[in-house]
Structure 1
């Protein structure tokens, strides 16, 4: 049975991998449907697929870290930095650009995973 310290990495890893696939899997179809803008430039397609690669790589690291004890600490630090950074960016956007009905639930999830990761680092990391 998976304990909660590993569950944080597993769940956030799966969610981020799925988000990456959504962003880059088929951007000429997904982005107009999901976000309302056309993706026609090669550079924008390249950027979205690069984001997909980042999300898939980082998410896979978290999933592996949820099963491999030697990787747990590094994966959790990476998760906290990612979730803290992305939620900070969304908060800045909310303040300057307004509330996004589509991404506000994502912000709450990111803050949840950020806090959960910090809690796990404090609870399960012994400083000797």
Structure 2
């Protein structure tokens, strides 16, 4: 039995998966920056082993979700799960950052842009999910 895995079979398939691809392309590199050099792009200076441990755990979480999104991109049976976890992930980050804007003040441009991108990708995922064939 041969099984071909295609990323996009139709235009609708592209619409349903493009936000997952964008998410993977952003979340994986950011996870490595957070884990190994957060001061490179962000105003973060880790001081304790616990802080380093926390950021490496975040890396693992980000990579774990990215692997699930990749499964959804390449395997149809994982697509709905990938979309749901992606919009929960993105909206959770986005709304958490919005809360921080009000409580903590305005962060650097990277986090401001990230907030917009996370909310956009999250709401896009909700929109895609509502249009998927049951």
For 1:102, what is the secondary structure of its paired residue? helix
1:112 correspondence with 2:123: no
Could you tell me how far 1:37 is from its partner in structure 2? 4.1
The separation in 1 between residues aligned to 2:81 and 2:70, in whole angstroms, is: 12
Structure 2 contact 80–129 (Cα < 8 Å) conserved: yes
- 2:17 counterpart residue number: 6
User: Under a length normalisation based on structure 2, what TM-score does the superposition of the two structures give?
Assistant: 0.84
Moved >4 Å (runs of 4+): none
User: Under a length normalisation based on structure 1, what TM-score does the superposition of the two structures give?
Assistant: 0.87
Matches within 5 A, 1:1-128: 2=8, 3-24=14-35, 26=36, 30-100=37-107, 101-126=109-134
For 1:39, what is the secondary structure of its paired residue? coil
RMSD, matched Cα: 1.5
In the alignment, structure 1 segments of 5+ residues that lack a partner are: none
